[in-house]
Amino acid sequence: AQSVTQLDSQVPVFEEAPVELRCNYSSSVSVYLFWYVQYPNQGLQLLLKYLSGSTLVKGINGFEAEFNKSQTSFHLRKPSVHISDTAEYFCAVSARNSGNTPLVFGKGTRLSVIA
């Protein structure tokens, strides 16, 4: 079984400052990793994913994440945030060894960008 821990439930940050949202996972098998964003009153939108290859993954809206297998982490970063980045962010994993595996989510991190 897999589990995901998002280490911060809320992250306030000033506009144009950098931000890092932390995600650690636990799994006995290899995993795929995902970050989703949910804007107020909207559904989930995929930000980026790690399937294989380069451990630094670039996504939409200037976000990137780095897969660190030894630390079982997949932290999300953005060098300069905008007001429009205010949203809830979810880290998720799925097992690589099965085609019929659900996503397991963390509890989310609420990013608030302050003008």
Q: Is 9 in the site for another protein (CB under 8 A)?
A: yes
Give the largest CA-CA distance in the chain.
Answer: 45
Which residues make Cβ contacts (< 8 Å) with residue 41, sequence separation at least 6? none
Nearer to another protein, 15 or 33 (CB): 33
Subset of 90-109 contacting another protein (CB under 8 A) = 90, 92, 94, 99-100, 102-108
Q: What are phi and psi of 66, to 5 degrees?
A: -120, 125
Which residue ranges make up the site for another protein (CB under 8 A)?
A: 6, 9, 32, 34, 36, 42-44, 46, 49, 51, 90, 92, 94, 99-100, 102-108
